[in-house]
């Protein structure tokens, strides 16, 4: 199949008017570098944070226009709040992982991390994974949270994995919602008190990466243990991560923790795809009023200050918690919700970053004092 012509993509995009009478979206400088990989076309549209809502219509129009070009099998357009001018194209995201051995059949390994527990890291990980799936990607989830593996619960999966007959493999992953899952919970008996040291975490994780009979996947989402201690550092250092997503609540304390997470990944040269603000604000189901319980917006400001993309804000929602705890993830059970839209938005941005080579920009140097 002939390679898709970038000029053809741009000429389709030039038919789409930019907001405020500023010509078309290409001439107005809203379109990032266009990445083409086989039949897949990806790019970002840069939007001011205040105009995200109206830009969504342009995003859909751009995706449609590109999807209509003969030979295009998948068009993914993400909205980012970053200006084109400030983007310095970095090395392709996967180059960070080339130093270490990749996992055969898995194109990108994306870690979801947080500075501390209870901020919604695992909830973000499962919904991000399911959001990737809605983009037409093949997805797997690896639950590496040694302190509290929660993927079996969040996926509503009970039972033990089956043994595998494949050479060199020990077990098959479990699967639900079209996503394969393996959890560190499979390797330990529930209720056995354990102290995990770095090397033990690493050998358990190596088993999950190499000895599980994974199918091929475009992206594997890895739920890391919360925190920035030795165990996390070892994982970040020794797994072939393409990128990391950091989850934080807006509280100051959590943000300081998020900064530590950021630093940890920078130390080991793993590109940070961005920060997600979870439990960002609360919309009262009865009166519709928006309550900014933890002082909303902290993560966005912090991300800007630290020079990493801000990926989105996820509201606090009682139904999300109740359903999550029942193994009913938002993406599957609340498909028309704002949450689903935000997770899909985050997934698009991360995917465009991974495939479009826009991750791994040189980051400002930050020193954290302990």
> Where along the sequence are the contacts to ligand ADP (CB under 6 A)?
114, 117-123, 150, 226, 278-279, 314, 316-317, 320-321, 324-325
Cβ of residue 131: shortest distance to ligand ADP, in angstroms?
Answer: 14
- In whole angstroms, how far apart are CA 88 and each of 36, 68, 84, 230? 18, 29, 9, 32
Nearer to ligand ADP (CB atom), residue 290 or residue 321: 321
Cβ of residue 41: shortest distance to ligand ADP, in angstroms?
Answer: 32
Per-residue tokens: 165: 């007959």
Nearer to ligand ADP (CB atom), residue 117 or residue 198: 117
Quick one: which of 150, 216, 158 has its CA closest to 184? 150
Cβ of residue 249: shortest distance to ligand ADP, in angstroms?
Answer: 9
Enumerate residues 6+ apart whose C-beta is below 8 A from 78: 42, 43, 44, 45, 59, 345, 348, 349, 351, 352, 353
- Could you tell me where the DSSP H helices lie in 211-297? 230-238, 252-267
Which residue is at the shortest CB distance from ligand ADP? 120
Cβ of residue 366: shortest distance to ligand ADP, in angstroms?
Answer: 23
Cβ of residue 275: shortest distance to ligand ADP, in angstroms?
Answer: 14
Cβ neighbour number for residue 54 with a 10 Å cutoff: 11
Nearer to ligand ADP (CB atom), residue 150 or residue 340: 150
Cβ of residue 119: shortest distance to ligand ADP, in angstroms?
Answer: 4
Query: Are residues 259 and 366 in contact, defined by beta-carbon separation less than 8 angstroms?
Result: yes
Give the Cα separation of 163 and 337 in Å (integer): 38
Per-residue tokens: 129: 């994974």
Give the Cα separation of 167 and 178 in Å (integer): 24
Nearer to ligand ADP (CB atom), residue 34 or residue 314: 314
Tell me which H or E stretch contains 352: helix 338-355
Cβ of residue 63: shortest distance to ligand ADP, in angstroms?
Answer: 26
Q: Is 27 helix (H, G, I), strand (E, B) or coil?
A: coil
**Strand 106-114 with 243-248, pairing:** parallel
Nearer to ligand ADP (CB atom), residue 66 or residue 182: 182
Nearer to ligand ADP (CB atom), residue 151 or residue 270: 151
Cβ of residue 150: shortest distance to ligand ADP, in angstroms?
Answer: 5
Nearer to ligand ADP (CB atom), residue 123 or residue 340: 123
Nearer to ligand ADP (CB atom), residue 115 or residue 309: 115
Q: Is 35 helix (H, G, I), strand (E, B) or coil?
A: strand
């Amino acid at each position: 199949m002939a390679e898709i012509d970038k000029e053809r993509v741009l000429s389709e995009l030039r038919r789409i008017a930019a907001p405020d009478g500023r010509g078309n979206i290409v001439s107005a400088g809203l379109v990032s570098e266009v990445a083409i990989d086989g039949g897949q076309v990806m790019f970002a549209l840069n939007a001011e944070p205040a105009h995200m809502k109206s830009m969504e219509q342009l995003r859909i129009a751009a995706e449609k226009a590109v999807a209509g070009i003969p030979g295009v099998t998948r068009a993914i357009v993400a909205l980012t709040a970053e200006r084109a001018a400030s983007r310095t194209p970095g090395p392709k995201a996967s180059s960070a992982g080339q130093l270490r051995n990749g996992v055969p059949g898995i194109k990108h390994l994306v870690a979801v991390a947080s500075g501390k527990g209870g901020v919604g890291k695992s909830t973000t990980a499962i919904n991000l994974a399911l959001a990737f799936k809605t983009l037409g990607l093949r997805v797997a989830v690896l639950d590496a949270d040694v302190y509290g593996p929660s993927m079996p619960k969040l996926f509503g999966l009970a039972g033990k994995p089956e043994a595998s007959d494949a050479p060199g493999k020990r077990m098959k992953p479990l699967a639900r919602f079209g996503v394969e899952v393996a959890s560190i919970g499979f390797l330990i008996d529930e209720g056995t008190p354990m102290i995990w040291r770095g090397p033990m975490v690493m050998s358990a994780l190596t088993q999950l990466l190499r000895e599980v009979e994974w199918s091929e996947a475009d992206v594997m989402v890895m739920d890391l243990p919360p925190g920035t201690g030795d165990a996390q550092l070892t994982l970040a250092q020794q797994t072939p991560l393409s990128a990391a997503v950091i989850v934080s609540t807006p509280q100051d304390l959590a943000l300081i923790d998020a900064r530590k997470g950021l630093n940890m990944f920078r130390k080991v040269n793993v590109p940070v795809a961005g920060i997600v603000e979870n439990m960002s604000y609360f919309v009262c189901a009865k009166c519709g009023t928006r309550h900014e319980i933890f002082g909303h917006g902290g993560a966005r400001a912090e991300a800007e200050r630290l020079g990493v993309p801000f990926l989105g804000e996820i509201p606090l929602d009682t139904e999300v918690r109740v359903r999550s705890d029942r193994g009913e993830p938002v993406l599957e059970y609340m498909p028309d919700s704002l949450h689903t839209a935000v997770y899909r938005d985050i997934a698009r941005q991360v995917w465009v970053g991974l495939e479009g080579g826009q991750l791994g920009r040189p980051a400002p140097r930050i020193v954290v004092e302990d």
